[in-house]
Amino acid sequence: MRIDLISLFPEFLAQIAGHGVVGRAAERGLLSLHGFNPRDFAEGNYRRVDDRPFGGGPGMVMMIDPLRAAIRAAREADPRPGRLIYLSPQGRRLDQAKIRELSAQPRLLLLCGRYEGVDERLVAAEVDEELSIGDYVLSGGELAAAVVVDAIGRLLEGALNDAGSAAQDSFEDGLLDWPHYTRPVEHVLGNVPDVLLSGNHAEIARWRRRQALARTLARRPDLIGTASLDDADRRWLQHLQDEAGQGPGDGSGKIR
């Protein structure tokens, strides 16, 4: 997969491709990142990429032409078509299903804004999709693009590595992850739950599933409606809700 980054700070993005799981995906040739800096395509001695907003107000707006030239250069560098995604707080909210969809594309172009944003005419003419990583404002789209690249990169690497690992991920079935433990078994902070030491794999799988359901219900009840659940899952959730109706709980969202 090839990802082109349209950014005033493309070196920023190169960082994530040099480390960890995404670095390995890049080393193996599963993922290649290419930066295109609108500054390199700006005209004049000052190489201006931004100007004051019509209508007044604070901040600056990224000009159409340097961005358009950078996008054109990226498209000419590889003739395969690819969706151009603009990372902005106005976008549709990113989730793991969207990451999965994007990871199946041979090519993507990510547009990172700075300042107050990008001239809307450029967005209307060139952008295929606007995505947000969450309801907060950053100083630019680069960190959001890094999030997208990281999430895609680990899926590409995982698909090759261990077929089970990506499928077992938190969010693959729309639920939060179960809790994890490692050595030592006994510790002043508490002991590892017995079931995990039992060697009974069916029992362990059932315990983990129940933990994931309980956590999701306690912390992210909004996810329950869209999770893929079977009858046993629904019975367990009903049990948890019946139980919650009886006692007050401590409000911590922790699972007993």
Q: Can you give the binding site for ligand 9WO, defined by CB under 6 A? A: 58-59, 87-89, 113, 116-117, 132-134, 137-138, 140-141, 144
Whose CA is closest to 7, among 128, 142, 119, 132?
Answer: 142
Catalytic residues: 89, 116, 154, 169
In angstroms, give the least distance from the CB of 49 to ligand 9WO. 13
Question: CB 131 → ligand 9WO: shortest distance, Å?
Answer: 7
Shortest Å distance, C-beta 174 to ligand 9WO:
21
Beta strands 2-6 and 107-112 are: parallel
Residue closer to ligand 9WO (CB basis): 6 or 214 = 6
Smaller CB separation from ligand 9WO, 13 or 227: 13
Provide, rounded to whole angstroms, the least separation between the CB of residue 223 and ligand 9WO. 19
Report the alpha-carbon distance of residue 121 to residue 235 in Å, rounded.
52
Pick 13 or 144: Cβ nearer ligand 9WO: 144
Left (φ > 0), alpha (ψ -120 to 50) or beta: where does 153 sit? alpha
Q: Which is nearer to ligand 9WO, 38 or 158 (CB)?
A: 38
Among candidates 241, 235, 249, 251, which has minimal Cα distance to 217? 241
